[in-house]
A and B are shown apart, each in its own frame.
Chain A
């Protein structure tokens, strides 16, 4: 274990970028770790551009960049349909999750109503509840709820509803986080707005929501990642190919070659499926990293 040999918080010296030999060693270690962390991603890109004959050779750079792998792989299934489904499900559940969690958090953080604190205790208790305990009864319930022909279905199963609607009831964890955040916003702001005749909804929407942006962004990002990468939900609830999400499409594509997977094609589509989350990460990196430290959670 590389215990730091140098003072942890030694002041920077002016001429060398490294405060001490220990810092230099730490830097070297970090470079090594960074390389290790990036190798899998690089390997994925490299594999995605290889010809089949090169797959077993473990060479880093393909002799010829086989861009056609992408078009071959995409010509296979209803990738665009599946991408559309993933986008619809993800966007709606993010919107639902953020809006409802914020509303509920607002009630717990800034309103007084009988039973509030007991119910907040219940919110905290449900956080401890492992999701799988609910998986089966929820399936049974969704298998009984009528969908009146929505997406051609009699019940909620085999529609997007079980993947979207629960998001509109918020998540205990996000409610908890937002409540903590909203409590930090001075009550005077609300009170003076109330004196000016603003309704509670208006205060919520025009004052508290804008001030909660960093926390909302964090929640939006994590619920985006969660919904985009959800596998078990679609696996259980979506049976028709036309309703598949990209994650289910990937699983299906794995078997399309018969026998063994064609790794170059598989890596090519896998890259494309990962791309949106990667783009969101690079664009909103700050929120991801702040979000982790505020919330103490990750995508995984």
Chain B
């Protein structure tokens, strides 16, 4: 939505552009507008614009807040890009999550939404149950999943029943991220609801027309439902990717379980996601020591650029597969 909004809003822009001579009324009107917008204006300047500029400056310095910032030019960026295996590890882990988690979440959410849309008895109850886990998040929920995915916890006990010897999940570098994916399927409620709303918005006439042409259930899903849902899918993919890029709390709690050093980024650094690494550089003890604000700021800006690029690539790709109603007509 962040993507489609500008066109729609900028259309309105033209109406106020006509220049008129100064008048008290207009002045008062303008003042009222600014007064109402004041909270955001202050917030924008103090909590967004200034921090951004400040962060950009900091990223060219070595700075631990206690001392004075020391200008070191592009050194931080150079060190990060050419000389920091942990940075590459963090990128690798983050992209792994993006690539594995996103499709699983999307397919699972769509499947459940289609089932819910069938209006079977109790559909409302099912909808509530599917959404319920989204309410149960935070540290408490992470503890719960650590417990369920303990090496001999509930999940592995379930696997034992079907004859599969479960892995050690959060203590095995190869299984920590799959463990997070298992966890995240518990929180697909909002994606399901968004899909459900879009499904309800598909005109029935399309299906009726297709039925007349003799289309079966799969054909209707393939040629009507999926294309009609593609803007929603696009939205969910973009938000899921941006969200995945910012995983922190889950990794922090799980990597720090059982008294392990959070700065290690989980077993074999397998939970070292980008923002977690950034946190460790800024506030934790990694490499040279605490409060590497310059290095962390540079990491933040690199993340910003990566997210920007990924989003632009998404937009470009979207032209190939996202079907907007207006195009077809």
Contact = CB atoms under 8 A, between A and B. Distances in A.
Interface of A: 1-9, 12, 17-19, 22-24, 26-27, 29-30, 33-34, 37-41, 43-44, 47, 56, 58, 100, 103-104, 106-108, 111-114, 116-117, 119-124, 126-141, 143, 166, 168-170, 172, 175-176, 200, 204, 225, 228-229, 231-232, 235-236, 247, 250-251, 254-255, 259-261, 263, 266-267, 269-271, 273-274, 277-278, 280-281, 285, 288-289, 292-293, 296-300
Mostly helix, strand, loop or mixed at chain B's interface? helix
Interface of B: 1-2, 5-6, 9-10, 12-13, 16, 29-34, 36-37, 39-44, 46-48, 50-52, 54-55, 58, 65, 107, 111-112, 114-123, 125-141, 143-145, 147-148, 152-154, 157, 186-187, 189-191, 193-194, 196-197, 204, 207, 211, 217-218, 220-221, 225, 235, 239, 242-243, 245-246, 248-249, 252-253, 257-259, 275, 278-279, 282-283, 293, 296-297, 300-301, 303-304, 307-308, 311
A273 B138 contact: yes
A251 B138 CA distance: 11
Contacts of A126: 44, 48
A236 B275 CA distance: 14
9 contacts: A4-B114, A17-B120, A30-B116, A117-B16, A124-B6, A136-B282, A168-B43, A231-B252, A255-B259
Which of A17, A132, A255 has the most chain B CB within a 10 Å cutoff? A132
A133 to B, nearest CB: 4
A20 to B, nearest CB: 9
Contacts of A44: 144, 147
A270 B143 contact: yes
Contacts of B133: 37, 40-41
Contacts of A108: 37
Contacts of B248: 132, 231-232
B39 A100 contact: yes
A29 B113 CA distance: 12
Given A140-B65, A169-B43, A229 B118 contact: no
Contacts of B129: 34, 37-38
A129 B305 CA distance: 10
A40 B193 contact: no
A137 B137 contact: no
A119 B34 CA distance: 11
B36 A134 contact: no
Contacts of A131: 246
Contacts of B153: 58
Contact of A122 (B44, B115, B217): B44
Nearest to A288: B131
Contacts of B243: 300
Nearest to B218: A3
A267 B143 contact: yes
A18 B33 contact: no
Contacts of A232: 248-249, 279
Given A128-B2, A274-B138, A277-B135, A292 B190 contact: yes
Contacts of A204: 36
B131 to A, nearest CB: 6
Nearest to B222: A3
A114 B30 contact: yes
Contacts of A127: 2
A250 B252 CA distance: 13
Contacts of A121: 6, 9-10
Nearest to A271: B140
Contacts of B55: 133-134, 136-137
Contact of A111 (B29, B126, B138, B190): B29
A141 B54 contact: yes
A133 B54 contact: no
A109 B57 CA distance: 35
B132 A41 contact: yes
B131 A289 contact: yes
A277 B194 contact: no
A39 B155 CA distance: 11
A260 B258 contact: yes
Given A3-B218, A130-B242, A29 B144 contact: no
A247 B139 contact: yes
A120 B10 CA distance: 9
B136 A274 contact: yes
B132 A281 contact: yes
Given A17-B121, A119-B37, A140-B293, 18 more contacts: A8-B220, A17-B120, A29-B115, A40-B133, A40-B148, A103-B36, A112-B16, A119-B41, A123-B40, A127-B2, A128-B308, A130-B245, A134-B52, A141-B46, A260-B258, A296-B1, A298-B189, A299-B137
